[in-house]
Amino acid sequence: MKTLLCSVALVALMMAAPAQAADLTELHSFDGIAWDGGKAATVSHLAPIAGLHFAPDGRAFVSVPRWISADVSATLNLLVDDGSGVARLTPFPELVAQSLTASPADSLRNVLGFHVDTTNGWLWALD
């Protein structure tokens, strides 16, 4: 019940705020995605990017859950902008650590959420 009340209060606060046009700035735009050492853009439509977080050093991490297809090479990646118009995803920490055939205790399978801790630089993932 406490969670429900908090949610209702948040919605009420959002509705009470005056309607304003937000000033948005586009930082990056990509025409597709491709993985280093894995599948190319042929499966990018099967890989919705679900999370984006930045480390204190500026690195961008993205999660790509394997909800739609197991053909997605890696579920946790570094996003690299090489200027080509295609977002290059580099498996993090490495591709072999994200194998679907390895033991679930030893590999990332389907990262649903993650957080980069700015205090100590750790990346926490819910897999």
> From the centroid of its chain, how far is CA 36?
16
Which residues share a beta bridge with 16? none
Q: What integer pLDDT is reported at residue 24 of this predicted model?
A: 77
Give the span between the Cα atoms of 99 and 17, in whole angstroms: 46
On the 0-12 / 13-18 / 19+ scale of CB atoms within 10 A, 95 is middle
pLDDT 10s digits, 31-69? 667 776 555 556 667 778 889 999 988 899 999 888 888
Give the span between the Cα atoms of 61 and 98, in whole angstroms: 15
Please, what's the b/e burial string for 48-65 (b: 16 or more CB within 10 A of its CB; e: otherwise)? ebbbebeeeeeebbbbbb
pLDDT 10s digits, 68-121? 888 888 899 998 877 777 778 889 999 899 999 999 899 999 998 999 998 888
Q: For the CA atoms of 126, 95, 32, 28, what is the dihedral angle to 10 degrees?
A: 60
